[in-house]
């Protein structure tokens, strides 16, 4: 069993579920999960969790994400991107009258928190039905706005009617909808022309690998070289080593007392730490509770296979 995260480059035409299905075939393992969907026409970073690393899926989904998007002004579609049916076009004279300063001001005005209405063509569920299923059936229902955060917007190029921008945003932000909303603010309409996800937390485009590259690495017996171990995600947390007694306790996911730590440490109440044994094997994340003078398990990553191979 392989445990950890692979930084996959999702190619155009694949859904996130397609990537997971293909990786199951490449790696010959079932326990694989992705960390947030990307539209089929979008490309870029898709961290995929393997084995015990699937316990990180929710955490990685919550991380801020970075995109490079191209906005096309002057058109509105039912999907809010250029794959959809065109609903309206802006008058050519009005579109030609747009100035670069006005466009820049409108784009940059979305930096910060704003209430975004999710698009009908999305996987959000209402009364058990996915919105895109309702949209394909010709139904449109009222959606409640959701507060999202646009941490950064950088305009990379303005070649009207196209605007290229880099966006750093919170979980749940639809870049298609951001493009639509910018077009609405400019009163000319707008739709997303293309989208690249360039970063998810610590995972960047520069390190992402295509499925074909991963298949080649598997054939060369080098796939382990690109699997990021779960403890790397918690690099900002202090590492704590347990003694032999602590190792037995941690192996079963039990609470740890201060006497079961290999070193005397000054831990703060609520501090979360990485737990290792003397051999450097990672057990999981524990939180220190000062009143009890002990650490409670928060998330365990030691697998049964690793336990059987411990020799204890």
Task: Give residue-wise pLDDT tens across range 22-39.
Answer: 999 999 999 999 888 888
Same domain, 56 and 127: no
Q: Is residue 25 part of a domain?
A: yes
d(CA 281, CA 31): 21
Mean pLDDT in the chain?
A: 92
pLDDT for residue 305 is more than 70: no
Q: What per-residue confidence (pLDDT) applies to 312?
A: 46
Percent over 90 (pLDDT), the chain: 81
Q: Which residues pair with 242 in a beta bridge?
A: 261
Residue 82 pLDDT exceeds 60:
yes
Let me know if residue 283 belongs to a domain: yes
Q: Are residues 98 and 209 in the same domain?
A: no
Higher pLDDT, 255 or 307: 255
Q: Is the peptide bond before 161 cis (omega within 30 degrees of 0)?
A: yes
Under the banding of pLDDT at 50, 70 and 90, the label for residue 213 is very high
Cα 97 from chain centroid (whole Å): 38
Q: Examine the domain organization and report whether 78 and 175 are in the same domain.
A: yes
> Which two tokens mark 115?
């209430």
In a domain, 29, yes or no: yes
Residue-range definition of the domain harbouring residue 122: 67-191
Q: Which residue did the predictor score with more confidence, 121 or 79? A: 79
Residue 39 is among the residues annotated as catalytic for this protein: yes
Give the integer Cα–Cα distance in Å for 186 and 262.
62
Does some domain include residue 196?
Answer: no
Neighbours of 267 (CB within 10 A): 19
Q: Residues 16, 52: one domain?
A: yes
DSSP 118: P
Please count the structural domains in the chain: 3
Q: How many helices (H) and strands (E) does the chain have?
A: 9, 18
11, 214 contact by CB (below 8 A): no
Question: Do 254 and 297 form a contact (C-beta atoms < 8 A)?
Answer: yes
Burial of 61 (0-12, 13-18, 19+ CB in 10 A): middle
What CATH number should be reported for the domain holding residue 260? Answer: 2.30.130.10
Rounded CA gap, 258 and 288, in Å? 9
φ, ψ for residue 39, nearest 5 deg: -55, 150
Please report which confidence band the pLDDT of residue 69 belongs to, taking 50, 70 and 90 as the band edges: very high
Same domain? For 34 and 74 the reply is no
**Is 197 among the domain residues?**
no
Same domain membership, residue 159 and residue 88: yes
Q: Which helix H or strand E contains 217, and what residues bound it?
A: helix 211-219
pLDDT per residue over 153-174, tens digit each?
999 999 999 999 999 999 999 9
Q: Which residue has the higher pLDDT, 120 or 240?
A: 240
Q: Which two tokens stand for residue 303?
A: 């697998």
Question: Which of these is catalytic: 3, 39, 81, 277?
Answer: 39
By the 8 A CB rule, do 150 and 169 touch? yes
pLDDT of residue 108 exceeding 80: yes
Q: How large is the average pLDDT for residues 40-60?
A: 93
Is 121 part of a structural domain of the chain? yes
Place of tokens 């049964």: 304
User: Is residue 198 assigned to a domain?
Assistant: no
The 10s digit of each residue's pLDDT in 181-197 is 999 999 999 999 999 99
Q: What is the pLDDT of residue 304?
A: 56
Q: Is residue 104 part of a domain?
A: yes
- pLDDT (mean) for 231-237: 94
In this structure, what CATH number is given to the domain that contains residue 16?
3.30.2350.10
Helix (H/G/I), strand (E/B), else coil: 21: helix
* Pair 246, 180 in one domain: no
Averaged over 255-259, what is the pLDDT?
Answer: 93
């Amino acid at each position: 069993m392989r445990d950890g995260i692979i930084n996959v480059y999702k190619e155009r035409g694949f859904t996130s579920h397609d990537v997971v299905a293909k990786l199951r075939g490449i790696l010959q393992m079932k326990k694989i999960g992705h960390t947030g969907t990307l539209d089929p026409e979008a490309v870029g970073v898709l961290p995929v969790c393997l084995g015990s690393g699937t316990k990180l899926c929710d955490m990685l989904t919550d991380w801020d994400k970075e995109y490079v998007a191209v906005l096309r002004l002057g058109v509105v579609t039912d999907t809010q991107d250029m794959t959809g049916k065109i609903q309206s076009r802006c008058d050519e004279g009005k579109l030609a009258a747009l100035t670069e300063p006005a466009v820049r001001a409108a784009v940059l005005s979305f930096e910060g928190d704003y209430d975004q209405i999710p698009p009908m063509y999305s996987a959000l569920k209402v009364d058990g039905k996915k919105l895109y299923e309702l949209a394909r059936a010709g139904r449109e229902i009222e959606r409640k706005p959701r507060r999202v955060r646009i941490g950064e917007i950088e305009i990379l190029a303005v070649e009207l009617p196209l605007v290229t921008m880099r966006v750093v945003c919170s979980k749940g932000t639809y870049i298609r909808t951001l493009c639509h909303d910018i077009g609405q603010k400019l009163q000319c309409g707008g739709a997303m022309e293309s989208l690249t996800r360039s970063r998810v937390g610590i995972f960047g485009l520069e390190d992402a690998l295509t499925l074909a590259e991963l298949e080649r690495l598997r054939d060369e017996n080098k796939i382990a070289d690109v699997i990021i171990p779960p403890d790397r995600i918690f690099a900002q947390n202090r590492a704590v080593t347990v003694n032999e007694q602590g190792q037995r306790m941690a192996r079963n996911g039990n609470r740890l007392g201060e006497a079961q730590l290999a070193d005397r440490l000054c831990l703060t109440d609520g501090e979360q730490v990485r737990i290792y044994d003397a051999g450097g094997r990672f057990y999981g994340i524990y939180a220190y509770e000062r009143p009890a003078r002990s650490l409670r398990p928060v998330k365990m990553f030691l697998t049964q296979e690793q336990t059987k191979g411990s020799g204890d």
